[in-house]
Amino acid sequence: MRGLEGKVAIVTGGAQGIGRAVVDRLVQEGVAVTIADTHPEFGPAAADAVTAAGGRAWHALVDVSVEDQVAAAVEETVQRFGRIDFLVNCAATFVIRGLEATVEEWRRSNDVNIMGQALCVKHVAPHMSERGGAIVNIASISGHIAQPGYLVYNAAKAAVANMTRCMALDLADQRIRVNAVNPGTVWNANNERFHREVLKMSRQQAEDDPEIGGRHMLKRVADPEEIAGPIAFLLSDDASFITGENLMIDGGYTAM
């Protein structure tokens, strides 16, 4: 894709799942990546794998809800790579609770899913202002629909969807584009574990279930790589006239 090679990205939550798929895709496109993640094992392993394959990456141990950690990772990225062109806000916490949610659960969800994304944009944007840049936030179809027992998570993702529009407007005069992607069900490690341990389902069973795979027009769930490709597109110069957009990557879920 145009305009990716030789650039530098920070990918939060880049050690696993969609974030790891984004890291791998961007490295394939010639992007150097900071993997900002809380996992002390998977984060360094992801960076080592990229380096071993000839790419450029390092792991920053970052909780995106802690501003000092975000600021430090941004500054170290500039020191290591000389610039920042892209930010992908993949880090998230999955608090699947309804009205029974505790104050602590609400705060943790909002601190990571809303404030964490805002803090990353706050500290990255000044380093993009001279050349411009592109940011992709990870929202969810859950921010656009009602789901039983999902109040806390859906509220946070709805906030991300509209926060993206506000950020796009505020940063447009700095030539920084801000978009969001809204995945449907993605078969990553966490989802696989949830379906296997809680729902007692294999992937095929989940895809055959009318309430899981059946909710998507394509009658299946997504692989992380199918989310990473559109994210790379939104960062690239091929999307140079797209900002403030919430792209649905949901196999037709929200169109039904």
Is 9 in contact with 33 (CB distance < 8 Å)? yes
Q: Both tokens of residue 176?
A: 């920084």
Calpha distance 181→183 (Å, rounded) = 6
Calpha distance 131→236 (Å, rounded) = 14
Q: Write down the catalytic residue from 58, 86, 150, 153.
A: 153
List beta partners, residue 180.
137, 246
Calpha distance 22→185 (Å, rounded) = 17
Place of tokens 């990918």: 11
SS3 category, 15: coil
Annotation marks residue 153 as catalytic: yes
- Listed in sequence order, the residues at least 6 apart from 197 whose beta carbon sits closer than 8 Å to its beta carbon are none
Place of tokens 């659960």: 105
Calpha distance 101→88 (Å, rounded) = 28
Q: Which parts of 40-156 are beta strand (E)?
A: 57-61, 86-89, 133-138
The catalytic residues are 153
